[in-house]
């Protein structure tokens, strides 16, 4: 028996990187997983891989920057399985690299809409469904930049700090309702998000910022997300936990 047997889970941004690993480990532990993303092809491939490994999963396209599509994603879980137990709000982008004074309004809005407003919209509808269910666990994907600065990425840093605040509030409000909400702060993890935004030299420099001497793997984040999502973390809510190879310790 997996530790998520009989649970129904949503993962946003599940087509790639950390979200893909989370979807895979949820399914491996017995959850029925709805993989959501704007990238249909890669999302459907993640589902096909889960199914071929004996797991239960389906794909649902949703752009998390809109309230409507977050609601539609929750509705899909209810339609398919009658309830929602777990949600990992993971979809996110890096956004423009520029000093704050040069950050364009358009680029700022795009990052905040996807990384921060998207997580609020997700939580709003997930909480509604979980209240009906009488329990639930939400994991919001923040970053070490929910704690420390990322120079040239003010929108990203602000969005991730916002997620930490939102998560604390939900923890405080929904503890009595048996719904837990926690945020995870990965250090730099080897995913397409890094490869698409950073040069080889930047990646080499970033390795030196992690005392463990390397960048992280998506699976190393997914293992902790799994723990927080499961009943094993039954006394944890409103928290923000780094998985960062020591980045924020120095």
Active site residues: 156
Order of all β-strands in the sheet with 240-243: 56-61, 32-37, 8-12, 86-89, 136-141, 179-186, 240-243
17 binds ligand NAD (CB under 6 A): yes
229 binds ligand NAD (CB under 6 A): no
User: Min. distance of Cβ 45 from ligand NAD in angstroms?
Assistant: 11
171 binds ligand NAD (CB under 6 A): no
User: Which of 124/178 has CB closer to ligand NAD?
Assistant: 124
- What does the alpha-carbon distance between residue 53 and residue 51 come to, in Å, rounded to a whole number? 5
Q: Which of 67, 78, 193, 198 binds ligand NAD (CB under 6 A)?
A: 193
User: Which of 178/198 has CB closer to ligand NAD?
Assistant: 198
Q: Which of 70, 90, 153, 167 binds ligand NAD (CB under 6 A)?
A: 90
Binding segment toward ligand NAD, per CB under 6 A, in 57-65, 95-103, 171-179, 222-230 = 57-65
Residues facing residue 37 across a β-bridge: 61
Question: Following CA atoms 5, 171, 224, 25 in sequence, which dihedral angle do they give, to the nearest 10 degrees?
Answer: 30
For 241, half-sphere exposure in the C-beta direction (CA atoms, 13 angstrom radius) is 16
User: Min. distance of Cβ 63 from ligand NAD in angstroms?
Assistant: 4
Number of residues that bind ligand NAD (CB under 6 A): 27
16 binds ligand NAD (CB under 6 A): yes
70 binds ligand NAD (CB under 6 A): no
Site string for ligand NAD, 129-158 (x = CB under 6 A): ------------x-x---------------
- What does the alpha-carbon distance between residue 230 and residue 153 come to, in Å, rounded to a whole number? 33
User: Min. distance of Cβ 178 from ligand NAD in angstroms?
Assistant: 26
Q: Contact positions toward ligand NAD, by CB under 6 A?
A: 12-13, 15-19, 37-39, 63-65, 90-93, 114, 141, 143, 186, 188-189, 191-194
């Amino acid at each position: 028996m997996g530790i998520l047997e009989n649970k129904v889970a949503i993962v946003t941004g599940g087509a790639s990187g950390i979200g893909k690993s989370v979807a895979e480990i949820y399914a491996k532990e017995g959850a029925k997983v709805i993989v959501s993303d704007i990238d249909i092809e890669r999302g459907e491939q993640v589902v096909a891989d889960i199914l071929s490994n004996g797991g239960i999963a389906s794909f649902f396209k949703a752009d998390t920057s809109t309230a409507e599509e977050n609601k539609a994603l929750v509705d899909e879980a209810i339609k398919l399985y009658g309830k929602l137990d777990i949600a990992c709000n993971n979809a996110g982008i890096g956004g423009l690299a520029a000093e704050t004074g040069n950050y364009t309004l358009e680029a700022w809005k795009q990052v905040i809409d996807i990384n921060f407003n998207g997580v609020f919209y997700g939580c709003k509808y997930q909480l509604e469904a979980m209240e009906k269910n009488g329990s639930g666990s939400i994991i919001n994907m923040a970053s070490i930049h929910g704690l420390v600065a990322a120079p040239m990425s003010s929108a990203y840093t602000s969005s991730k700090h916002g997620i930490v605040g939102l998560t604390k509030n939900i923890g405080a409000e929904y503890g009595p309702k048996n719904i837990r909400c926690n945020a995870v702060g990965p250090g730099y993890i080897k995913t397409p998000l890094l490869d698409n935004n950073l040069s080889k030299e930047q990646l080499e420099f970033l390795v030196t910022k992690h005392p463990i001497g390397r960048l992280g793997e998506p699976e190393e984040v997914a293992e902790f997300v799994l723990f927080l999502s499961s009943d094993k973390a039954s006394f944890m809510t409103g928290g923000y936990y780094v998985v960062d190879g020591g980045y924020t310790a120095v």
